[in-house]
Amino acid sequence: MKILVISLLRLGDLLMQKHLLAGLLKKYPNAEIHFLIRSEFQSIEFFFPEVKKFFHFDGLRWQSLMQKQNQNILRPLKELTDLLDRLNNEKFNLIMNWTHQKGSAYLVELIDANEKLGLQTRQGQFFLGDNIWLKEFNNHFGTLGPSKYHYLEYLSRIFEIELQPPPKVLRSYVPGQVNRVIVQPLTSDAKKNWALKNFRKWIQLHRENFPLDLISLIGSPSESQILHDEFKNEHIHILSLADAYELLLDSHVLVTGDTAIKHLGAWAQITTIELALGSAQPSKTGAWQSPQYVLEPKVSCHPCPHTQNCSQSSHLCGEALSAESIENLFFQFQGGNKWETKQRTTFPQL
Amino acid sequence: MNFITQSNSQSRSVLFENGKALCSYLNPEKEALAWVARQEIQKMTDVLILGLGAGYHVEQLLRQAPHLSISVVDFRPECFRFFEEEFPYSSNKVKCFYLRDGAHLDQRIFNFVSDIQPLVLPFRPAWQNHEHQFADLYTQMTFRSLEVLEKVFHQQISSQEMDLSKLASQKELLHLKNIFESTKEVESHLSLKLSVLRELWI
């Protein structure tokens, strides 16, 4: 049996979806799992040994081609057709659309299979079928309000795939010992970034409180310059995702607002502290981990829409998050509170 | 047309047509280097150069990007003769399309452009005396001409799916969305594929 999973969301979503693969293989024990992912995420394929074959949706390239005057106007159409031909040559038995976006729904109609699950079009019209969970997800998940269920719980119910409980933290903070603390200060979305001066302040504070801890900063090659400019005296590792994962496996605590690294931290089963700024919605897409540590400032504009820039005159959610609130978590790991947390710190119950 | 060859102070041969040089007379190699530097050659695979002229730019592109599959189009046989004499090695490495009918895609080059859909690289210094013809060719080779699109849709895609009269109302076919807007309200594979692509630019 051949199953195609369409997963065209962002990198963090893809990393989260890995939690469903064990259940998928349990339901279809002899199945070959194929994934259609965005081309720019090829570097994460090492993380999915369960997947027999990856296909790549080159949306960024096609967007670029559409803007080029010297490119054949039909080139994106030709490349999409080539991709669809390759997919249809596989003769899939089942397609699961884990993306739930309009473009992916059209793709489901264009790819042949005996059975198709998830959002799709039929004769060009969007079709949800009679799956009540799919309808519930469609009606509520895209809104800005909190969600009753985590993204993975929705997918589990929609596709009737068993979801394992959140993995427990294996390498937690050990008070009084040398702990390796990893910090990813930057994200790919400006409104999710906590100001770098705040990170500097918190690192200084942490060194005073927990001098034994080894703090390392990590970032992608595109973030190298800014990290080296802003954190001249710190250990900075510019890493691929594969190397970042290796480093996390050898660490105790991760502090980040970055979605993909957050999920890698959960996979590495280390204590992951999410700084949920901007459009982050931890009740929907928080790290699938137990316990889950989230610092989510309560300001009226949070969470903001994912597709828009920060609408405020200053970055209110970032300003509402203090260095002391992160530090307070470390004191809680030690079994005590040094500061009373002024902004609300949420610990969503999964 | 009157073609002559002259050597510059660096003993480089330059081709002239009706008194106009088809590349830089003073320094054709510097001009070719600058032209190649403007291209994103690492991202290219198949390119079609529009305008052979004296061929220095073709020679330079081949030298810097031997991985490329390079084709070149011109409608002046004198340019091809000059290129073969000056750059015999390169002329064997490059696919040359000589358009006998001027600014009109014959079936051979239409099939090539349609199958390969190469990136079209205009070399404007070689367009001297024929700017309008080359500009028309540029439009046709990127399929931004109604005439060529009609041919494509008739030959390769069912014309039942397109309302070509809507395309005719476009002064210039600048974007794939013009084609999307011309698809008929039928549930066809073409319409669905364009819907996938449309989601990318919304």
Q: How close B121 comes to chain A (CA, Å)?
A: 7
> B152 touching A, CB under 8 A?
yes
User: If DSSP codes are grouped into helix, strand and coil, which group holds residue A338?
Assistant: coil
> A22 touching B, CB under 8 A?
no
> A73 touching B, CB under 8 A?
yes
Integer Cα distance of A175 and B143 in angstroms? 67
A173 φ, ψ to 5°? -70, 130
The token duo for A347 is 């610990």
Integer Cα distance of B51 and B62 in angstroms? 15
Integer Cα distance of A304 and A327 in angstroms? 26
What string of H, E and C letters represents the secondary structure of A276-301?
CCCCCCHHHHCCCCECCEEECCCCCC
Q: How close A76 comes to chain B (CA, Å)?
A: 8
Integer Cα distance of A282 and A275 in angstroms? 10
What is the reported pLDDT for B130? Answer: 92
B180 φ, ψ to 5°? -60, -45
- Nearest-by-Cβ selection for A107 from B191, B194, B196: B196
Integer Cα distance of A27 and B57 in angstroms? 60
The verdict on ipTM greater than 0.90 is no
Burial of B9 from C-beta contacts in 10 A (0-12 / 13-18 / 19+): exposed
Q: Which residue of A has its CA nearest to B46?
A: A71
- Nearest-by-Cβ selection for A77 from B138, B175, B193: B193
C-alpha distances in angstroms, B89 versus A20, B85, B98? 57, 10, 18
User: Could you report the per-residue pLDDT of A151-184, keeping only the tens digit for each?
Assistant: 999 999 999 999 999 999 988 888 888 999 999 9
CB spacing of A102 vs B195 below 8 angstroms = yes
> A70 touching B, CB under 8 A?
yes
Integer Cα distance of A214 and A236 in angstroms? 12
Give the largest Cα separation in chain A, rounded: 65
Q: Where are the alpha helices (DSSP H) in A173-255?
A: 196-209, 224-230, 241-249
Residue spans of chain A under pLDDT 50: 337-350
What is the reported pLDDT for A340? Answer: 41
C-alpha distances in angstroms, A216 versus A219, A244, A250, A255, A331? 10, 11, 12, 10, 20
Question: Nearest CA to A229 among A202, A250, A272, A200?
Answer: A200
> A78 touching B, CB under 8 A?
yes
User: Could you report the per-residue pLDDT of A29-68, keeping only the tens digit for each?
Assistant: 999 999 999 999 999 999 999 999 999 999 999 988 888 8
Residue A34 DSSP class: E
What is the reported pLDDT for B172? Answer: 62
What is the reported pLDDT for A299? Answer: 86
- Nearest-by-Cβ selection for A72 from B113, B174, B192: B113
Model confidence, pTM: 0.85
> A62 touching B, CB under 8 A?
yes
Tens place of pLDDT per residue across chain B (202 aa): 799 999 999 899 999 999 999 999 999 999 999 999 999 888 889 999 999 999 999 999 999 999 999 999 999 999 999 999 999 999 899 999 998 867 678 888 999 999 999 999 999 999 999 999 999 999 999 988 888 887 887 776 655 667 767 776 666 666 777 777 777 665 688 888 988 988 886 6
Integer Cα distance of A80 and A99 in angstroms? 18
What is the reported pLDDT for A311? Answer: 85
The token duo for B3 is 């073609």
Integer Cα distance of B158 and A174 in angstroms? 68
> B123 touching A, CB under 8 A?
no
Chain A residues lying within 8 Å of B143, measured CB to CB: 72-74
User: If DSSP codes are grouped into helix, strand and coil, which group holds residue B62?
Assistant: helix
- Nearest-by-Cβ selection for A80 from B121, B122, B197: B197
User: Which residue of B172, B197, B198, B202 is the best one to mutate when testing the A interface, meaning the one whose CB has the most A CBs within 10 A?
Assistant: B197
> A303 touching B, CB under 8 A?
no
C-alpha distances in angstroms, B71 versus A124, B59, B61, B122, B134? 40, 12, 11, 12, 15
> Is B13 within 8 Å of B4 (Cβ atoms)?
no
Integer Cα distance of B117 and B46 in angstroms? 8
The token duo for A89 is 């040559």
User: If DSSP codes are grouped into helix, strand and coil, which group holds residue A200?
Assistant: helix
CB spacing of A63 vs B200 below 8 angstroms = yes
